[in-house]
Amino acid sequence: MISTASATLGRVPLTSTRALWSSISRRGVTNHSSTRTLSQRPTRFACSRTELARLSHSKAQMGAMSRAPVACRATISLAPPPSLIRGKEREALSLKEGDKIHGFTVTKVEQIDEYHITAVSLVHDVTGARYLHADSEDQNNCFNVTFRTTPTDSTGVAHVLEHTALCGSEKYPIRDPFFNMLKRSLNTFMNAMTAPDFTMYPFSTRNAQDYYNLLSVYLDASFFPKLTASDFKQEGHRLEFEDPEDKSSKLTYKGVVFNEMKGAMSSMDSQFGRELSSQLYPTSTYHHNSGGDPKNILELTHSQLVEFHATHYHPSNAFIFSYGDLPLGDTLERVSTWALDRFEAIDVRHLDVKDEQRLTEPRKVSVTGSPDAVVADPSKQTAVSVAWLLNNVPSDPFEVFRLRVASDLLVSGPSAPLYQALVEEFGAPYAAGTGYGAQRREASFAVGLKGIASEDSDKVEAAILATMERLAQEGFEDDRVDAVVHQIELSSRRVSTNFGLGMAFSIMPYWLHGGDPVSPVRVGAQVERLRAEMAADPKMWQSLIQKHFVSNPHRVTVAMTPSKEYNKGLEAAEAATLEKLEGALDDERRKQIVEEALALKLAQEAPQAVESLPTLSVSDVPPEVERTVSRFTEVAGTKVQWNDQRTNGITHVNLLYDLSELPWHLVPYLPLFSSLLSELGAGDRDYRQLAQAIKGSTGGIGVGLSGATSVNDLDRFEPTLLISANCLDRNLENMLALIADLTTLGPKGVRWDKEPKHLRTLLNRRNAALGASVASQGLSYARVHAGSTLTPEGALDNLTGGLPHVNLVQGLVGAGADPAALAAVPIALEAIATHLFSPDSSKLMRCRVAGEGERFPEVEALLGAWLAPQTPSLDQGNVGKFSKAVAEATGPKAGGAGNNTFFAVPSQTNYVARSVRTVPYTHVDAAPLFILGQVLSTCFLHREIREKGGAYGGGAAASPLSGTFTMNSYRDPRTLETVDTFMAAAEWATKDGVMSQQDLEEAKLRAFKSMDSPVAPSGRGSTLFLNGLDDDIRQTFRTQVLAVEIADVARVAQHYLVANAAIVGNEEKVKVKHGAGGWEVLGAGR
């Protein structure tokens, strides 16, 4: 589960989208998935006196919540309706305002033409529950129930409740229905999340039977959870001895949410964002950390949790959303019968979020926080931001839209005035939370820098305020506004696979606070209104800046300076509290703690009646892969793959360049080359003009390292550089011209050595991001390091994306860096460009175009004109030479013990990974290894690492394409104990009788959920282009997965699971010595 409570002000990461218009980009049209149903009982009436007594709750149990005793009611079948028609051919909605349907009244029906959806708003007649349905031909149906949860403290009650509600319910009284459904479903998304003022339970799936299965589980979990004291101790917090059975051992705190938030609040960025929010919202619910401050989580009691559920998780406080092509009536009938009909209305007005009490004058605050693991200059670690409280979100959606555009104009890209005044002037990156955030009732805007000297804090603040005052007089250039509007248009056209989820997230700030939930999807109307108002009022932007920034006294300036003692202080305070508690324990209480731990362990290990949960079966999985038609031609001597797809007027172009003959000394610079190719200017355009041209004509030009391990041989690796771009069809010529500028050599190409100050600024920004990522993304670093000696692909991944790259950048701009090293960067980058883009020996291997087929002749002509001057190299694709160089430079491909590393970093929790080399994609063992990863995750590691160990997460995964198998833990309080758990997992999987046929069935469902995840039209054909994985090879692997037996899984576990380990974790709790037992202990900067 996810908490967004500690998110920074600018952008609460409920989604991965950059802005609102991205999160609601046009939905993808998916193919039919299997809708074969399980055997179901027919609809019947059944309700005994015992059931009536069970369903009627006392006032003492429910607090202010009123749940009505129910009369005998219909039991609705889980099966989808017979003869269900999906997609375009579905039955059209015929509802109108005032219509009654299954206990709901329709309050509004409207068409959103630009997204081809019909939005139906309803209200439940008895409870007042609000419901919004978005009818669409999209078969990736989404459902979400949200409750307004407004904490009054930082105990994390809403977050702990979100976890505990999923630990068993009235209809499904097993210990963990949520995680069990993960392996009994083909869902495309399944989670729960806590935001600053709401908790949501969303899922999506393409399978109709799966939709109704998940609907039943989610409704019961949210409205009728068990909320036992035992589950509260597991998910929230508990006291336990280090050896749970030894009352004389050291006392510790455990709990999933407790450790999750220790990890979440370990980084300076998260602490800084939390401080900004706390200061900007001094009196409202947003002042508190709804995810929970670890020290306050320990104050939460089980009774407070139960009471919070009673007052918040009620239909009168519920906002229910559905999306897709399944019949609305069928969902409404189930929602009413399974949940809402059992309640009466209650008054929830006390849960309304009040507007913040506005400051009459600005405030300034200085605080301390945790240092990043890697910093460029120890004397420049301060972060400072200025934040404003802005508009009421639900009352004026158009003002939200204007401010989003203004935020982009203010901070995005090198032409933005605040970028120039701050990032370029001080040579430091933006602070966490920079940008406009409209996820709360009242929006905010923050901007600042991190990685500055503490004495420069006032200068940064002055520069921000001066820039705002200037813009209140001058406004923005028209071409920059046009470029932002172009991005909005392009994003609204982009076909997405998760439109329903994006809409579910984006509507909440409006809907929860009394606004129009459909307003965020009216992008076209907002763009037209913006253009009209700009035409009518040339001073519109000046007025907006003056009102919301220059004349707005509700402004706070927060400066945070890290201290090496910060995390030590937190650990010391926790240790002191535990010591005090332990000293006060009498023998009886010690025995009680041991008994509670043993009781929890028994509950965690007890067999579960999972047969009560609905499930799909492997027979519901289509036996055939979904095939994609690709056409191949040669254009000017270059092989081109054409994928005719419904991309809604957007053309996508991919270019793949061969890196196999790149001189070895240039390889470490490849990540810098990828990130800087489009950042330094090219030809007649400086870096600002180039950024503006890219923004005004394309959806972005992305450059990244790619590469494919052979499907037949793990030691054959094809390293490549991928250039990807997309644009509206009308801008295709401009886009190709921009790519040509980036791949041209000499004075007309990239200005590698013309902008030394800007280059250093970009490297400083990258160094700051990398330094912060070591603690926050420790699992990624642990994984790539654990796999670095196993295959050429793993070696390159670690060299270019692991801690060696962090160290390289640190050596370029960090304290004590050699100026000669920095001076060598543009020379190395230009050498890479010369190697790849020389016209007489181009390393362009192949090209791919995805778009609408009727435009392909025009695209082919434009491509031909661009490609004609280039002569493909005859030696491209030489995978052996590069692979050998990578392997030799990074060490032997060793497995087994003796390759273990502990990276000590400033963090309160740890990330542990253990990897082993396996087999290539086409090997007969690839399929059972893939299933083994699913089995270990759900049947062993989840219980041992999360439930018992208290980590936020843990699991295992086989990567058939890279030939590795990895076990890992996330935000883990343990280190070596988890490594032992990984070893125990391997041993467990080899034992007879530990895995049932049902376990195997569920593992296959999880595997196919991963294999069959929706792919946007623009991405169909990309695995063939990048990995050489055609549909026939995919079909063979699919058939092999379907055929895996229990004996196959046990056999591969016995044969392959001896592994390397890597830990990124708490520097104060390193339990191994360097060189002892095969362990290497390093700091992140080594």
Rounded CA-CA distance 287/278 in Å is 4
- Positive or negative, the CA dihedral 868, 869, 874, 879 is negative
Dig out the tokens for 1072 from the structure. Answer: 């191994």
Q: What's the start-to-end Cα distance of the chain, in Å?
A: 34
Whole-angstrom Cα distance, residue 31 to residue 140?
9
The tokens for 610 are: 């999972």
CA distances to 162, 230, 237, 532, 1053 from 947, in Å: 16, 11, 12, 57, 23
CB of 451 within 8 A of CB of 768? Answer: yes
DSSP 688: H
Burial of 70 (0-12, 13-18, 19+ CB in 10 A): middle
* Tokens 């004609």, residue located: 868
Is the Cα dihedral 919, 925, 929, 931 positive or negative? positive
For residues 325 and 1046, give the distance between their C-alpha atoms in angstroms, rounded to a whole number. Answer: 38
What's 454-476 look like in SS3? HHHHHHHHHHHHHHHHHHHHHCC
- Length of the chain, please? 1086
Instruction: Say which amino acid occupies 1016.
Output: A
Report in angstroms the alpha-carbon separations of 1083 from 806, 1067, 1080: 12, 8, 10
Report phi then psi at 88, rounded to 5. Answer: -60, -30
CA–chain centroid gap for 656, Å, is 27
- Please, where are the H alpha helices in 948-1012? 976-990, 997-1011
Tokens of 741: 């500028």
Q: Map tokens 């291997």 to a residue.
A: 845
Distance between CA atoms of 758 and 768, rounded to whole angstroms? 15
Quote the crossing angle between the two packed helices 1046-1056 and 997-1011, to the nearest 10°: 80
Is 895 within 8 Å of 1055 (Cβ atoms)?
no
Rounded to whole angstroms, the Cα distance separating 796 from 962 reads: 12
3-state secondary structure of 378: coil
Phi, then psi, of 695 in degrees rounded to 5: -70, -30
CA–CA distance, 940 with 994 (Å, rounded to integer): 10
Beta bridge partners of 718: 708
The closest alpha carbon to 708, from 1020, 967, 1030, belongs to 1030
Long-range residue pairs from 365-368, CB within 8 A, at least 24 positions apart, any chain: 365/275, 365/279, 365/556, 365/557, 365/558, 365/559, 366/457, 366/558, 366/559, 366/560, 366/561, 367/275, 367/558, 367/559, 367/560, 367/561, 368/560, 368/561, 368/562, 368/563, 368/566
What residues contact 572, with CB distance under 8 A and at least 6 apart?
A: none
Catalytic (active-site) positions: 162
Q: Do residues 975 and 1063 make contact, with C-beta atoms less than 8 angstroms apart?
A: yes
Q: Give CA torsion, residues 414, 420, 422, 423, to 10 deg.
A: 40
Strand intervals (E) in 830-899: 844-851
Cα separation, 913 vs 803, in Å, equals 15
742 three-class SS: helix
Do the bridges between strand 844-851 and strand 638-644 make them parallel or antiparallel, or are there none, so unpaired?
Answer: parallel
Neighbours of 998 (CB within 10 A): 14
For residue 913, what are the β-bridge partners? 968, 1062
Helix (H, G, I), strand (E, B) or coil at 522: coil
